Amino acid sequence: MKAVPFLLILVSSISARAETFGPYLGDVTRTSIKVAWRTEIPSNSVVEVAPAENGDFVAAGGTDQETLQHEVLLTGLDAGARYRYRVRSDTGGATVFESEPHHFRIDGGPGSPFRFVFFAEVHENSEVAGFDSVVRAFDPDFQIQPGDNVDEGSELAQWQNFFTRGDWYGDLPLFNVNGNHNYAGNGIDLSTEVLVNPGNEFYYSFRYGDVLFLGIDSEHLLNDEIRDNVPPWLEKVLTDATDGIEDPVFIIAFEHIPPWSSCTGSCALRKLVENPWVRDELVERFERFGVDLVLNGHDKIYERSLKEGVTYIQVNSGSGPYDVDPDAGFNPYSQVLVGDGLSMLRVAVQGCALRFEAVRPDGVVIDEGELTGRCGNLKSSDEVVIGDSDDAGIVEAGYFADHNGESAGGCSGASRSASSGPYTWILAGFLFPLLLLRSRTVFFGNILINKGDST
């Protein structure tokens, strides 16, 4: 008889903990950042900050209004500065949540080098936590994801899993757009409540360094407002970005649905209804205005494509994979295809040079390349020379190691095409004789292909 109340208390405690998570970050600018967390009990919101290395914490923002979902905007921060922060929630004189100290870094503005990481298809796979050491070694400024962060956007426990599975969420602001699983179970309201993004949170732009980023919810079949409002918004923001006034050096878009991909089966059938709108309304503008890089998810493979000067990269950081068939004709623009395993992208930007590497959780690089932006849009007249990427990767070579802009960056030409590093060819050379001995199914499940330019 006595065991029953104990059991009830235990279950209640576990349930309550599942609804507490954070802190996490979003919407970082040159002077501000948003800090968010969730508590299982309505309580107030307190954020304290301190200099990055030493010094006392001081109250920086918050509210006495008691809530479950906490979101505090910190303003008046110094561009390019790094801070420590911690959060706390109290109610009735008792503290219900208190975080460990974390760090964030503020955008340094035009001329500042920076790094970001890109994850996709995290879903409910705990293996994404395997990227922890890769992320820490890279020391990025923020992260981007194109949705499908969870299986069911309506499940609060899944969001708790999402924000606690990766060690980096407390330190890296997340810029996210919705995928179809954010809408699952009528989950878009909870997704929007939990996630922290700029503007209306569905489609938005932001500048970081000399780069314009476009976050686009591409779920036009699930949300009529996306179908109707994104095209005119995209037309305007790209017109402004290319009008000769304060134009960015790079334009990078991220949205859930890749316009082309080599996945087959149900994945390919789905594309018949999903992709025409993406191609007609998004890709047409990406090409016409010269977007440099588009980051996607959804198809659970790694693939880099190139069409009309626009590079498309999709990664799979936590689920799948789908089957792939490079000969099926679904993606004539494929440059590099890796059909299985988890992947994420790390990107370093300095001057008019952008270097990217696709990596496994163990740090093995499966693809790499460089893009050159609009060098004429740089404010500085300093000539920059691209790092010696043939020698080693971003981390190993200390590429862009100095976050304050003292190291070399790149501006070696006007081409916007990506150039593959030697790794792809070396790996392909080792794999090809082996792959010839394998069955077709296994062959296409593991192959890494480099087709060269095929615009």
Asked whether the beta carbons of 378 and 351 are under 8 A apart, the reply is yes
- Site residues for Fe ion, 353-382, by CB under 5 A, read none
What minimum distance in Å lies between the beta carbon of 183 and Fe ion?
10
Asked whether the beta carbons of 238 and 285 are under 8 A apart, the reply is yes
What minimum distance in Å lies between the beta carbon of 278 and Fe ion?
13
What minimum distance in Å lies between the beta carbon of 145 and Fe ion?
12
Nearer residue to Fe ion within complex by CB, 178 or 372: 178
> Residue 125 has which token pair?
């796979």
Nearer residue to Fe ion within complex by CB, 123 or 304: 123
What minimum distance in Å lies between the beta carbon of 181 and Fe ion?
6
Taking CB under 5 A as the rule, does residue 219 contact Fe ion?
Answer: no
What minimum distance in Å lies between the beta carbon of 215 and Fe ion?
16
Question: Which one of the spans 175-183, 189-197, 273-281, 360-368 is the region binding Fe ion (CB under 5 A)?
Answer: 175-183
Question: Which one of the spans 108-116, 161-169, 179-187, 325-333 is the region binding Fe ion (CB under 5 A)?
Answer: 179-187
Size of interface with Fe ion, in residues (CB under 5 A) = 4
381: Cβ contacts below 8 Å, ≥ 6 apart? none
* Sheet containing 419-420, strands listed edge to edge, beginning at the edge strand earlier in sequence: 174-176, 142-145, 114-118, 344-350, 353-359, 365-372, 419-420
Supply the DSSP symbol for 452: -
CA-based R_g, the chain, Å:
22
Among 145, 149, 180, 334, binds Fe ion (CB under 5 A): 180
Asked whether the beta carbons of 57 and 24 are under 8 A apart, the reply is no
Nearer residue to Fe ion within complex by CB, 43 or 261: 261
Distance from C-alpha of 406 to C-alpha of 409, rounded to nearest angstrom? 9
Nearer residue to Fe ion within complex by CB, 180 or 424: 180
215: Cβ contacts below 8 Å, ≥ 6 apart? 144, 175, 176, 177, 197, 198, 203, 204, 205, 206, 253, 254, 255
Distance from C-alpha of 22 to C-alpha of 37, rounded to nearest angstrom? 4
Question: Which one of the spans 2-10, 142-150, 409-417, 418-426 is the region binding Fe ion (CB under 5 A)?
Answer: 142-150
Nearer residue to Fe ion within complex by CB, 274 or 292: 274
Q: Count of residues for the chain?
A: 455
Taking CB under 5 A as the rule, does residue 298 contact Fe ion?
Answer: yes
Nearer residue to Fe ion within complex by CB, 18 or 221: 221
Taking CB under 5 A as the rule, does residue 148 contact Fe ion?
Answer: yes
Return the closest-CA partner of residue 368 out of 427, 422, 316. 422
What minimum distance in Å lies between the beta carbon of 148 and Fe ion?
4
What minimum distance in Å lies between the beta carbon of 182 and Fe ion?
9
Distance from C-alpha of 403 to C-alpha of 294, rounded to nearest angstrom? 24
Full DSSP string of 333-346:
TEEEEE-SS--EEE
Question: Which one of the spans 33-41, 108-116, 177-185, 278-286 is the region binding Fe ion (CB under 5 A)?
Answer: 177-185
Supply the DSSP symbol for 410: B
Among 26, 166, 179, 369, binds Fe ion (CB under 5 A): 179
Nearer residue to Fe ion within complex by CB, 298 or 304: 298
Which residue type occupies 116?
Answer: F
> Residue 350 has which token pair?
């300095």
- Site residues for Fe ion, 189-218, by CB under 5 A, read none
Nearer residue to Fe ion within complex by CB, 149 or 180: 180
Distance from C-alpha of 346 to C-alpha of 140, rounded to nearest angstrom? 8
Shortest Cβ contact with Fe ion: which residue?
298
Asked, as a colleague might, if the bond just before 113 is cis with ω within 30 of 0, I would say: no
What minimum distance in Å lies between the beta carbon of 320 and Fe ion?
10
What minimum distance in Å lies between the beta carbon of 295 and Fe ion?
14
Asked whether the beta carbons of 412 and 385 are under 8 A apart, the reply is yes
Asked whether the beta carbons of 153 and 187 are under 8 A apart, the reply is yes
What minimum distance in Å lies between the beta carbon of 219 and Fe ion?
9
Taking CB under 5 A as the rule, does residue 71 contact Fe ion?
Answer: no
Q: Which residues bind Fe ion (CB under 5 A)?
A: 148, 179-180, 298
